[in-house]
Amino acid sequence: MNLVDNHLPTQELQALDAAHHMHPFSDTGQLNTKGVRVITKAQGVYLTDSDGNRLLDGMAGLWCVNIGYGRRELGEVAARQMTQLPYYNTFFQTSHPPVIELSRQLAKLAPGDLNRVFFAGSGSEANDTNIRFVRHYWASQDKPEKTVIIARKNGYHGSTIGAASLGGMSAMHAQGGLPIADIEYINQPYWYREGGELSPEEFGLLRARELEETIERLGENKVAAFIAEPVQGAGGVIIPPDTYWPEIQRICDKYEILLIVDEVICGFGRTGNWFGSETFNIKPDIITIAKGMSSGYQPIGGSIISEKIAKIFEDKAGEFNHGYTYSGHPVACAVASENLRILEEENIVDRVADDTGPYLREKWQSLSDHPLVGEARICGMMGALELVADKSGRKPFASEEGTVGFICREHSFANGLIMRHVGDKMIISPPLVISRSEIDELVELAHKTLDQTLEELNKQGLMQAAK
């Protein structure tokens, strides 16, 4: 018998899960009443649940399984590393071959002169590191008052207190006394919902210039850095207008504030280049990495910093009082290295740029013909559908936001396709190895899901736009 198939019946698993396991971003009461779906195995782009149902994973787990499931090489590397050196720290003036090799690979892949990596266990931890990096960078140059980090409403940078403070998710700030001090927020470049009568290009400039206004208002001598995702992921795959990033770059250069680009989702091929910074021609001082770095096979994150910052840390900063027990964990590093080897040797990023990415784009955008879809946007292998009752008006539904998205998601799961809903947007971020025929299947299932959703909305009287 296959050990991984040897599990308890679904209902027993659900009962135990309800009794003893707390889930992230979940309403515990509601979840336990409904019962979790138990995933037992996966191969390629497909998951299997405990009842034997097959699901096409349109989300690559949580935006992370870039090389797809079931790559034996990663398991073999992990087993070897666990036998040879399962753990050692990098605190005591010590290092080990896997962390050295991964650092070398990352320095080679990362844009510009981003050559030095500080490791963390996750993207959230890495962004916490970034807060301390940028503030200590300025303090080390006798500018301790440069502490403010400007971030964006509806950005996502993780769930620790620091990272969630950088994020601009109001629902997260509402719990646990967030944000921390000295984080300021500007509006997001979300043209579809917030652009009004402006063209996307005008709107992109307007939103970027809020950064300049905020720097001017606070005083340049107070501002340490600006942080943003190239494309907002968790916020709903919000792709900025073409004018946005060049203007942000101009402003960061002009005021010499550090630019932290959170590449946790966009990094490692998702936008069709190794990093979103290349896709949008951004010159970051720091990038945050996690997720696709190991394709999710091991938990690992990190920050890659420019030579300019590294030099201050070498020459002036003294001891950096920061680090994690698992910074540069040998097994996680070895697995991440193997993942990068596969991404490189199998030309997976090029395939996204030249072949499957454009193919998905064409198919995905064809969904905008559907009566429920106001916009079907896509960047590389991340896409969103704006569900609306009134296509020309770009107005939200009259029902509470998320009502329609949730209905659509339920149909999608029932059809065997994992799509996530963010409010009334449906989003996808499939494994980068998805094939053309699997893309066909994804888009067919999405189409079927939209038809069923429309039917249900009509039945329930929900096809109404807000006034």
Ligand X SMILES: *Cc1c(COP(=O)(O)O)cnc(C)c1O
Residues that bind ligand X (CB under 6 A): 63, 122-124, 127, 156-158, 229, 233-234, 262, 264-265, 290-291, 301
DSSP 4: G
Q: Residue 367 is which amino acid?
A: L
Smallest distance, ligand X to C-beta of residue 466, A:
29
Smallest distance, ligand X to C-beta of residue 300, A:
9
Smallest distance, ligand X to C-beta of residue 266, A:
8
Q: Does residue 228 sit in helix, strand or coil? A: strand
Tokens of 239: 């792709």
**Nearest residue to the partner ligand X, using Cβ:** 123
User: Which CB atom, from 158 or from 380, has the smaller least distance to ligand X?
Assistant: 158
Dihedral, CA of residue 29, residue 459, residue 237 and residue 205, to nearest 10: -120
Smallest distance, ligand X to C-beta of residue 326, A:
12
**Beta-carbon-side half-sphere exposure of residue 210 (alpha carbons within 13 Å):** 17
DSSP 446: H
User: Which CB atom, from 264 or from 360, has the smaller least distance to ligand X?
Assistant: 264
Smallest distance, ligand X to C-beta of residue 121, A:
8
Distances from the Cα of 118 to the Cα of 141, 287, 301, angstroms = 21, 11, 9
Smallest distance, ligand X to C-beta of residue 16, A:
25
Alpha carbon 182 to chain centroid, angstroms = 24
Evaluate whether 216 touches 148 at the Cβ level (below 8 Å).
no
Tokens of 407: 């209905």
Tokens of 173: 């700030």
Evaluate whether 148 touches 182 at the Cβ level (below 8 Å).
yes
Evaluate whether 240 touches 204 at the Cβ level (below 8 Å).
yes
User: Which CB atom, from 240 or from 301, has the smaller least distance to ligand X?
Assistant: 301
Residue written as token pair 């020459």 = 315
Smallest distance, ligand X to C-beta of residue 447, A:
27
Smallest distance, ligand X to C-beta of residue 166, A:
9
Phi then psi for residue 119, to 5 deg, are -90, 150
Which H or E run includes 250?
Answer: helix 244-255
Smallest distance, ligand X to C-beta of residue 364, A:
20
Phi then psi for residue 258, to 5 deg, are -70, 140
201: closest CA among 235, 231, 237, 245? 245
User: Which CB atom, from 275 or from 397, has the smaller least distance to ligand X?
Assistant: 275
User: Which CB atom, from 62 or from 85, has the smaller least distance to ligand X?
Assistant: 62
User: Which CB atom, from 379 or from 457, has the smaller least distance to ligand X?
Assistant: 379
User: Which CB atom, from 301 or from 328, has the smaller least distance to ligand X?
Assistant: 301
Query: Which residues neighbour 389 within 8 Å (Cβ) at sequence distance 6 or greater?
Result: 395, 397, 398, 457, 462, 463, 464, 465
Which H or E run includes 86?
Answer: none
Rounded-to-integer distance, Cα 398 and Cα 415, Å? 26
Evaluate whether 411 touches 453 at the Cβ level (below 8 Å).
yes
Dihedral, CA of residue 231, residue 267, residue 435 and residue 332, to nearest 10: -140
Residue written as token pair 């190239």 = 230
Smallest distance, ligand X to C-beta of residue 427, A:
12
DSSP 229: -
**Beta-carbon-side half-sphere exposure of residue 320 (alpha carbons within 13 Å):** 23
Smallest distance, ligand X to C-beta of residue 327, A:
14
Smallest distance, ligand X to C-beta of residue 292, A:
10
